[in-house]
Amino acid sequence: MGQKAKRTKSGSAWMHEHVTDPYVKKAQLDGYRSRAAYKLLEIDKRDHLLRAGMTVVDLGAAPGSWCQVAVQKLKKQGRVLAIDLLPVAPMPGVESLEGDFTDLSALNWLEDKLKSGRVDLVLSDMAPNISGVMLRDQARHYELCELALDFAKTWLKPDGAFLVKVFQGVGFEDFRTQMRQAFSQVHIRKPDSSRDRSTEVYLLGRGPLGNVAAVDEAIVTSLQE
Binding positions for ligand SAM, rule: CB under 6 A: 33-34, 36-37, 60-66, 83-86, 100-102, 125-128, 144
Long-range contacts of 178-183 (CB under 8 A, 24+ apart): 178/146, 178/149, 179/149, 179/203, 179/205, 181/209, 182/149, 182/152, 182/153, 182/208, 182/209, 182/211, 183/207, 183/208, 183/209
At closest approach, how far in Å is the CB of 149 from ligand SAM?
A: 14
At closest approach, how far in Å is the CB of 181 from ligand SAM?
A: 24
Q: Which is nearer to ligand SAM, 184 or 198 (CB)?
A: 198
Q: Which is nearer to ligand SAM, 41 or 182 (CB)?
A: 41
Chain CA centroid to CA 99, Å: 15
113 is a catalytic site residue: no
Q: Which is nearer to ligand SAM, 52 or 130 (CB)?
A: 130
Q: Mention every residue, 6+ apart, whose C-beta is less than 8 A from residue 136.
A: none
- Spot the catalytic one: 39, 73, 153, 165: 165
At closest approach, how far in Å is the CB of 106 from ligand SAM?
A: 7
Catalytic residues: 165
